Amino acid sequence: MILTVTLNTALDLTYHVPALVPHGSHRVTRVVERPGGKGLNVARVLGALGHETVVTGFAGGTTGETVRALLAAGTAGQPVHDALVPTAGATRRTVAVVDATSGDTTQLNEPGPAITSDEWAAFTSRFTELLGTARAVALCGSLPPGIHVGAYAELVRLARAAGVPVLLDTSGEPLRRGIAARPDVIKPNAEELAQLTGSREPHRAARDARRRGAHTVVASLGADGLLAATPDGLWQAAPPAPVRGNPTGAGDSAVAALLAGLVDGADWPDRLTHAVALSAATVLSPVAGEFDADAYRELLPRVTVHAPATAA
């Protein structure tokens, strides 16, 4: 199975409005609730792709109960197994407001509950147990209050000690600390990569991130697709044309594709092709953690991948 970690789990609420007007009152035409947080989005996409997935992290309060109930209700494809650890604080909510006129999305994210030292100890114990049957693990998203900034570095070391490949998808100081523990893959966006390395030239920044400890760097470049700096060289993959829609969860779908390619033993051009197509198909879906399956199949043969350009 594939294990995904979401330390700052959320209940995602998506509101659809005809047009978002600042300072105005809005009539919501549609409301969608989904289990949220980056790792849960990744897990639902992996399930839809046919992979057995287990999610862990924290869940608490009435919103945490709703998240767990929605997970139990199932999703398309393989079920997502719940190994979330209870917390006294309430799971956060995130609100996405989709403007039907412009196609743009406005996101509001709560900070998350404060995690106690006992809750963190319970989580690390659960995580270590789950590594025993994991083929790969993804560590995703922000840290809730109360968790030390080196938490991801600690989890990367536990995964490496268990011989489980680990993908790290976070930002800021947690990424800076985590990369020093030598994760197999990191997946920053262009801004996160620039903040990590101080360089806004993606090729140079990706190589620098590898020198800091990441075995492979896969950077999201927005409409320009993905850049991968691997031990064998550089690849860049791009969609046939920019897509408009709800970008929430697009990066998580790319992570799901990268994990699927890792456990399936696919080469990097194939992994990037699927990651770009799946990410674009997610933008075309109105809800985070879901993708337009028809668009995914249609986009796959149209993604362009550049062969290795230079040694990484």
Catalytic residues: 252
Structure tokens at 55: 């999610």
Exposed/middle/buried for residue 263 (C-beta within 10 Å: 0-12, 13-18, 19+):
middle
| Rounded to 5°, angle at Cα 274 from 151 and 67 | 45
Is the distance from CB of 137 to CB of 4 less than 8 angstroms?
A: yes
Is the distance from CB of 62 to CB of 89 less than 8 angstroms?
A: no
CA dist 88 and 91 (Å) reads 9
At 167, give phi and psi (nearest 5°).
-110, 130
Amino acid of residue 6? T
Radius of gyration of the chain (CA): 18
In whole angstroms, how far apart are CA 156 and each of 5, 125, 168, 259? 11, 14, 8, 16
Short-list 80, 81, 135, 91, CA closest to 114: 91
